[in-house]
Amino acid sequence: MHDVHHTIIALPLWLALVLRSDYAFQQAPSHLSRNASDMKRAVSICAIAMSLWVVSAAASDEQREASAAAAAVAWLALVDAGSYAESWNAAATRFRDAVTQRQWQSSAARARAPLGVLKSRKLQSATFEHTLPGAPDGEYVVVRFATSFANKAAAIETVTPMKDDDGTWRVAGYYIK
């Protein structure tokens, strides 16, 4: 997503160059007007294509982020209900390979029990990433929630879904701060 923001910033600069070249084409001698007209058309087509690519890339990241956030919310519902075995079954392959179901059930219960029941949860951000520290390259979305529990009024939950081997977004990481 960071690359898209840089491209969006660069787009007005590209458009300024197109407009400036349009002025230069108008000032060209008549024997160059045909070539200038062809060049102007080519530059315009490139500008349109680049605009469509930027919009498409931004929409693609937003779609991934929305799908991954929905997967995170569904997975958190299992954890909130204390269905730790089911949440392990619903997690990404890498998650299940890293921790056994029994280890996950024990760890999740120890981490969540002191917090009490969920009072509220609000999505703060969802950011698409190709690389994360300590993880192989892939498709990840880091989803952060501002969460309130009965015994902890302000917490930040970070849930990291990844695109699993079958193309489905599944949770690969969970952290409460």
pLDDT single digits (tens) 68-104: 999 999 999 999 999 999 999 999 999 999 999 999 9
Domain tally for the chain?
1
Model confidence band, residue 41 (pLDDT cutoffs 50, 70, 90): low
CA 123 centroid distance within chain: 13
CA 147 centroid distance within chain: 20
Mean pLDDT, residues 166-177: 96
Rounded to two decimals, the pTM is: 0.68
Which residues form the domain of 65?
Answer: 1-177
In this model, does residue 49 exceed pLDDT 80? Answer: no
Per the prediction, the chain carries an average pLDDT of 79
Let me know: does 89 contact 156? Beta carbons within 8 Å. Answer: no
In this model, does residue 46 exceed pLDDT 90? Answer: no
